[in-house]
Amino acid sequence: IENNVRAMIERVNTNIARLYFVNDRDVQIPVPANLVLRDVINGSNPTVVRLKAYKEVNMQ
Whole-number Cα distances in Å, 38 to 28, 43, 44, 54, 59: 22, 11, 11, 18, 25
- The answer to the question of residue 1 being in a domain is no
Q: What is the pTM of this model?
A: 0.59
Is the residue at 13 inside a domain?
yes
Long-range contacts of 30-36 (CB under 8 A, 24+ apart): 30/54, 32/1, 32/2, 32/5, 35/1
Q: What's the number of domains the chain is made of?
A: 1
Specify if 38 maps to a domain.
yes
User: Does residue 56 form part of some domain?
Assistant: no
pLDDT tens digits, one per residue of 7-59? 888 888 887 888 889 999 999 998 887 777 766 666 566 555 555 554 554 44
Quick one: pLDDT at residue 59? 41
Beta strands in 1-60 (DSSP E): 6-11, 17-22, 28-29, 35-39, 47-51
Predicted confidence at residue 60, as pLDDT, reads 38
59 domain residue, yes or no: no
